Chains A and B, each alone.
Chain A
Amino acid sequence: MVNERESLFRRLSAACGGHGAGPGEGLPGEAPVPPEIDRVALFAKTFAAADGVLLRGPLEKALSDLGEMLRAEGVTALFFPEDDAAAREIAEALVPFGPFSLTTGAEVRGGSAAVTAGFRTAEAAIAETGTVVETSAGGRTLLPGLIPDVHVSIVPAASVVARMEEALAAFTADPPRNISFLSGPSRTGDIEQTLTIGAHGPRKAIVLLLTIPGPGVKITSL
């Protein structure tokens, strides 16, 4: 195996040799930084364009709207990670709006048949593309946006960045196993090139936009 690697690099060096500039010297400079924008307003627009649903405003109303949406999707069970305080708070507050039951990661991972909504506080959101950023950094789980039928992301407004570059910069030095960009629900056009929302991932993507700074803080308003 190592021999094959050596011989590959011999072939590559022969093919690459003879270029004056060193690696990176021929690279274009930094992508131009666009002027400052209203990131939250842009995120609302791009997330909707990606078929996501954004909720904000007074907490009671948002919870009621969310409850209604989940009922309309046939959701019966809510899942939140043990270590995600904001997700726990929202999910527990929602229970009476169903009524919904609370389910565990083990049940979700085991392929529970219940129509489930997964709750998770996002690491960041990207205004440019309408993206929710989730990573495995700090040992956090990705299950809420992976297996359940509905994904509810809790996004602190202060964590909305303008472009993908900013979202990635935080993770370049020491990337976790998984950085995921989630832009709306899963979809496929593989049958007759007809767009169908809801493929293998969640079929509905909802964002609860928080105006308080960070996850883990008791929510009193959105």
Chain B
Amino acid sequence: MELKANAFGRNARKALLDKTLQGALERTTGRFQAHRDAAVAAFPEFEATRERASGIKRDVLDHLDTYLARFIEEAEKRGAIVHVARDAAQAREIAARIARNEGITLAVKSKSMASEEISLNEALQGAGVTVVESDLGEYIIQLAGETPSHIIAPAAHKTREQISRLFERHLGEPRTDSIPGLVGMARKHLREKFLSAGMGVSGGNFLVADTGSVVLVTNEGNGRMGTVLPRVHLAVVGIEKVIPRMADLPTFLRLLPRSATGQAISSYVSIVTGTRRAGDPEGPDRMHILLLDCGRSAILEGKYREVLKCVRCGACLNCCPVYQSVGGHPYGWVYSGPIGAVLTPLLVGLPEAAALPDASTLCGACADVCPVKIPLPDFLLELRADAREQGLKTPGEIAAMKGYAGVMKRAGLLEAIERIGGVLGQFFTKGKGIGGLPYPFSGWTERRDFPAPAALPFRKRWKIQRGARD
């Protein structure tokens, strides 16, 4: 996907003025947040399960080499062909080669954020494959030529009217404002693709090391169709998605649907292992698992490794007041919201995405909801410090910081400035607020007042009232 993270500010301002988007955002995130909170409240073991999941993921990260090796061994034992891609370019090349070698002309795809990272569809199209997104939300934005705006709800920014117009234009379907009607149209058109596609492409929510299985968690049933019917299955999954044992899967299944949509369980969980066995009436003859490094091993080495615990539930997006205000597109890449503000700079490099860690008030709501306890606010702070270290801050900001720290070195100097500010402030504003602050603080006073400094700072008052000395 094209990277536009550093245009966050500009795109956020556009998003704030987009009334349709604002309505969609309020509805989407409000609902997800309410459902998630209700599901968690109804699940007394939530905290204990979170702690467990966090512990399991930490063990995985500590021994990812061992667990990943086991996964590959088990998967290959059962007929899967496992590929490893260091970066997006390599991944695309492998995917294109697979498509050509297998003689694929039509592929149905179910949701995969990792595939967006590597622009998989383009690569397959380049190899002569028509790729049809089958997740309803992804299908909609594919028709619209757009990118997903939310990890769980890619078409969260679209209204039914917009979708109906799309279906009319691209599918020849009559206009309707019935949501079930629209869903029925998509079902009809996609059904035919499922039945005829040579390849099903999926992501993977989890990779089970002790069995070599890929786990898909879905609601629509498209993930199942795409991994049962076509003769080839291609799973594109990040290396960090490993969990140690099949017995660990329920812990994550108890957290992921609740955190994402507020369901106790998703409609479908598919655990697929290798190719069809002799005598199976359905199933792929060929299974390819494309494991992506794409920056993950570098993250594993450093202070941000816990971010690799992420299970892509989207809960942090739904509770983030900044995401709720601007949606996913301003974050400018595959991942948005709090996880995007951390993961994007780590995967694409901080210079290309330095605007993102600043796009947060550090309120901490995300850390409260993360089912695997990723310390997102701490990582945002850390990235801001990295930005300073890497020379990504403006000279103006650095000078201002040095000036402010210089003043704060000596209480006497601070007091003198406060006294002067107090006199000037009271003189110019006559006790009312300041209507316009100078750059770079002018943003504040666009729509808010700022108080004038007090006539006498507290430290002076205290000395007067209590006769105290410095």
Direct A/B contact, Cβ within 8 angstroms: yes
Bound state CA distance, A131 and B257, in angstroms?
A: 14
The answer to whether A198 and B187 touch (CB under 8 A), given A27-B59, A163-B250, A193-B31, is: yes
Residues in A with CB closer than 8 Å to B276 are 136, 177
- A9 CB, min distance to chain B CBs, angstroms: 6
Instruction: Determine the main DSSP class of B at the interface with A.
Output: helix
Contacting A14 at CB < 8 Å: which of B66, B184, B219, B301? B301
Q: Does A222 contact B (CB under 8 A)?
A: no
Interface 0/1 of A129-156, CB less than 8 Å to B: 1110000100111110011000000000
Residues in B with CB closer than 8 Å to A165 are 247, 250
Q: Judging by beta carbons under 8 Å apart, are A199 and B221 in contact?
A: yes
Interface size on B, residues (CB 8 A): 103
Chain B residues 229-284 with CB under 8 Å of chain A are 229, 239, 244-251, 253, 261, 263-277, 279-283
Q: Judging by beta carbons under 8 Å apart, are A192 and B220 in contact?
A: no
Q: Judging by beta carbons under 8 Å apart, are A11 and B277 in contact?
A: no
Q: Does B117 contact A (CB under 8 A)?
A: no
Bound state CA distance, A167 and B276, in angstroms?
A: 21
Which residue on A lies nearest to B135, using beta carbons? A190
Q: Does B64 contact A (CB under 8 A)?
A: yes
Interface 0/1 of B88-116, CB less than 8 Å to A: 00100010000000000000000000000
Residues in B with CB closer than 8 Å to A190 are 135-137, 140, 153-155
Bound state CA distance, A21 and B94, in angstroms?
A: 36
Q: Does B27 contact A (CB under 8 A)?
A: yes
Residues in B with CB closer than 8 Å to A16 are 61-66, 300
Q: Judging by beta carbons under 8 Å apart, are B211 and A177 in contact?
A: no
Contacting B268 at CB < 8 Å: which of A27, A139, A186? A186
Contacting A8 at CB < 8 Å: which of B84, B135, B140, B251? B84
Which residue on B lies nearest to A6, using beta carbons? B84
Residues in B with CB closer than 8 Å to A9 are 65, 68-69
Residues in A with CB closer than 8 Å to B140 are 190-191
The answer to whether A12 and B220 touch (CB under 8 A), given A139-B277, A178-B271, is: no
Contacting B195 at CB < 8 Å: which of A27, A109, A172? A109
Q: Does B40 contact A (CB under 8 A)?
A: no
Q: Judging by beta carbons under 8 Å apart, are A28 and B32 in contact?
A: no
Q: Does B342 contact A (CB under 8 A)?
A: no
Residues in A with CB closer than 8 Å to B155 are 190-191
Q: Does B83 contact A (CB under 8 A)?
A: yes
Contacting B293 at CB < 8 Å: which of A11, A13, A198? A11
Q: Does A44 contact B (CB under 8 A)?
A: no
The answer to whether A12 and B191 touch (CB under 8 A), given A26-B59, A172-B210, is: no
B-contacting residues of A (Cβ < 8 Å)? 1, 4-5, 7-9, 11-16, 19, 21-28, 30-31, 46, 49-50, 105, 109-111, 129-131, 136, 139-143, 146-147, 163-165, 168-169, 171-172, 175-194, 196, 198-202
| 4 nearest A-B pairs in the assembled complex, by CB-CB distance | A201-B221, A139-B279, A23-B63, A190-B137
Q: 17 A-B pairs, CB-CB below 8 angstroms?
A: A4-B86, A8-B239, A8-B291, A15-B300, A31-B251, A143-B281, A172-B247, A175-B78, A175-B213, A175-B273, A177-B274, A183-B268, A188-B219, A189-B261, A192-B27, A196-B180, A199-B222
A-B contacts besides A182-B268, A201-B267, 18 pairs, CB < 8 Å = A12-B65, A23-B63, A31-B250, A129-B265, A147-B225, A177-B273, A177-B275, A181-B269, A184-B267, A186-B221, A190-B135, A190-B140, A190-B155, A193-B31, A200-B194, A201-B220, A201-B221, A202-B221
